[in-house]
Amino acid sequence: MLETNGHPNRLGLVGWLGGGRWGAERYLYTLHRLTGLGLLAYFLLHIVVTSSRALGPAAWQAAMGRVSGPIFVAGEFLVFVAFAFHGLNGIRLVLVELGWAIGKPIEPVYPYRTSVDEQRPLAIAVMVLAGLLIVAGGLDFFVLH
Amino acid sequence: MITAPTDVTFRIRRFDPLTRPQPAWEEHTIPYAPGMTVLDGLRLIKETRQPALAWRSSCRMGVCGSCGMFINGQPRLACNTQITQLDGLPVVVAPLPNFAIIRDLVPDLRPMFDAHVALHPYLIRDDTAEMAEPTGEYYQSPEELEHFLQFTYCIKCGCCMAACPTYATDAAYSGPMPLTQAHRYNADSRDGGFAERKAVLAGEQGPWKCHYAGECSRACPKGVDPARAIQLMKRQLVFAYLRLYAQPCPSKVLPKPTEMKRRPDVPEAPAPTIGT
Amino acid sequence: MRDQALWTWHVLAGLVIAVLLGLHMTIMHLDVIVGVFNPADPHPIEWGNVVARARQGFFLVSYVVLLGAALFHGLYGLRNILFELGLGTGAKKGVSALLTVGGVALFVFGAWAAWAASALARAL
């Protein structure tokens, strides 16, 4: 890569967060990253906490007792929400990034209908499903238990 | 969309490595004329108010790709942007982001073109003698053309690169334009260079850092849809890795017909009237 | 592994996780609605349910597969995020090595815990 000596002008992390007038898919991309990091952080702790089941019932009850407070329950619900979004958006991304949901190349005629417009119904369907899953999970977390 | 104003204020990001080493905003107000584009406004400012203002432009009709700028928060072509189509005034003009600034509104596009060249954006075939001295045309059906025609409309303006969130933080990413042009050749039935490009695309210079924000396609002024090209490229590369895809042979030369018979309903050409 | 291979496995792991983690979330957090899991107790995390699952080979295998897939998928995602912040070549190598070692270590630990729990459950 040729080194340039002009004044640096990269958007940096602001480019990930969007500028307020970017499209919905850009926000879905940022949210997908945030939920992924949240899920990863929870998961690494989860491996350690649930490993206590190998040491018998007393160790297990102790570990479960430590993570049963209301803050933990709320946190676990957030993990469920993150999973619902990340998983369903991930399925949308698999369909899009392997070329199934984006439509065939066309002769561009203004106003342009891009692949982003083609996959928009799928994005909406995925968000609706995620919403339904979150409601179902919320019922289970806070009402039925 | 705004209603036609009487005067328009331009807020322009100025930078000069010698006289103004820190970029700063500068405002100029000019009378509005119906149909004025951002480029028209810049030219009026340079002619009547600020002769030192620098930018790139050429065709002023959206085919050369020189005037890509960051106008009211979106990467656009200045010649293609009517002032009345913007969301509001003033017209805020900055150089295209994600590229170093050479001066005022002039971005340094060399990294984009370096990445472009590295992906071999040209037909690669074994029959080099035929390519140097053609004896016939390479056969291609209209259906085969449809697979990549959309991606040939790229004018290399750099608006997609400015819109890409990955390119905003990662200078090593190839970017939408180079990847789209690499796919334009991979998808071309006349090309036989998939293996050579795959060797580069399988690594860091490939499409793997694209996560489908789709901003490149939204920003593209020619409807090239780079996001579509990059996902189609990922599909091809993944299927090739899983041994589910093999590149078909590049199309053959269509020899000129040796026996040419005139159809009965087609008249003879008239005799030439110039030359001997 | 080159990025082409890593990304392909990332997607395949994601699909595996969609199925297995979906099942895990259903057992843990949608059990009252679905109604077929957790016979020992209404709460999925009661010891009785844990033992009932640990006794079944299906759960042992699926937990270990889910562990491996989720560790690879998550750590590759983290690697992507870190690399895209514009690291130098040396830093990239370091981050890759760290994530690989950490991931393998956690996998070995988690797989041991799953196996040990299974052995314990069968002995009870």
Distance of alpha carbon C74 from alpha carbon C13, whole angstroms: 10
Domain with A74, as residue range(s), is 22-143
Residues C110/C67, Cβ–Cβ less than 8 Å: yes
Residue A6 forms part of a structural domain: no
**Residue B262 forms part of a structural domain:** no
Write down which chains contact chain B via at least 3 CB pairs under 8 A. A, C
Q: Which residue ranges of chain C lie beneath pLDDT 70?
A: 1
Domain end among B56, B83, B107: B107
**Is A50 a member of any domain?**
yes
| Nearest Cβ partner for B169 among C4, C8, C86 | C86
From the CA of C13, how many Å to the nearest CA of chain B?
14
Domain C-terminal end among B107, B124, B143: B107
pLDDT at A1: 47
**Would A69 be classed as within a structural domain?**
yes
Q: Do C33 and A136 touch (CB under 8 A)?
A: yes
Q: Which of A28, B201, A64, B208 is nearest to C28 (CA)?
A: A64
Last residue of a domain, one of B92, B107, B122: B107
Over chain A (145 residues), what is each successive 10-residue block's mean pLDDT? 74 75 86 96 95 92 91 94 97 96 93 94 96 93 80
Asked if A91 has any chain B CB less than 8 Å from its own CB, the reply is no
Structural domain boundaries enclosing B172: 110-241
Q: What is the mean pLDDT of residues B26-40?
A: 96
User: Contacts of residue A35 in chain B, CB cutoff 8 Å?
Assistant: none
Q: Is B154 exposed, middle or buried (0-12, 13-18, 19+ CB in 10 A)?
A: buried
Nearest residue on chain B to A10, judged by CA atoms? B98
Q: What residues in B contact C3, CB-CB < 8 Å?
A: 202-204, 206, 208
Q: Please, which chains are in contact with A (at least 3 CB pairs closer than 8 A)?
A: B, C
Q: How many residue pairs from chains A and B have C-beta atoms closer than 8 A? A: 155
Residue-level pLDDT at B98: 95
CATH number at residue A51: 1.20.1300.10
Specify the number of domains making up chain A. 1
- 3-state secondary structure (DSSP) of residue B153: helix
Indicate the pLDDT class of residue B276, thresholds 50, 70 and 90: low
pLDDT tens digit sequence for B104-145: 999 999 999 999 999 999 999 999 999 999 888 999 999 999
The C-alpha atoms of residue A5 and residue B102 are separated, in whole angstroms, by 8
* Partners of residue A74 in chain C, C-beta under 8 Å: none
Residue A68: what are its φ and ψ, rounded to 5°? -110, 0
In the sheet with B68-71, reading across from the earlier edge strand, the strands are: B20-31, B7-16, B91-95, B68-71, B74-77
| CATH number belonging to domain C2-123 | 1.20.1300.10
Structurally, how many domains does chain B consist of? Answer: 2
Residues of A with CB under 8 A from a CB of C: 13, 33, 36-37, 39-40, 43-44, 47-48, 50-51, 53-54, 56-57, 60-61, 64, 76, 80, 83, 87, 90-91, 94, 97-98, 136-137, 139-141, 144-145
Nearest to B169 among C5, C6, C85 (CB): C85
For residues B240-264, give the mean pLDDT.
89
Q: Is some CB atom of chain B closer than 8 A to the CB atom of C9?
A: no
Question: Are residues B90 and B13 located together in one domain of the fold?
Answer: yes
Q: Are residues B146 and B161 in the same domain?
A: yes
Comparing A3-7, B159-163, B168-172, the range with the smallest average pLDDT is A3-7
Query: For chain C, which residues make up each domain, given as ranges?
Result: 2-123
Q: Average pLDDT for residues B241-252, to the nearest whole number?
A: 92
For residue B251, being part of any structural domain is answered with: no
Is B97 in contact with A106 (Cβ distance < 8 A)? no
B241/C8 Cβ within 8 A? yes
Q: Structure pTM?
A: 0.92
Q: Does any domain span residue B254?
A: no
Contact A114, B227 (CB under 8 A): yes
Can you give the pLDDT at residue A13? Answer: 85
C44: cis peptide before it, omega within 30°? no
CB of C41 within 8 A of CB of C49?
yes
Q: For the domain that residue B94 is a member of, what is the CATH number?
A: 3.10.20.30
**Using CB atoms, which chains have 3+ pairs under 8 A with C?**
A, B
Judged by average pLDDT, the poorest of B28-37, B61-70, B75-84, B251-260 is B251-260
Give the distance from residue A133's alpha carbon to the nearest chain B alpha carbon, in angstroms: 24
ipTM of predicted complex? 0.93
Residues B146, B97 share a domain: no
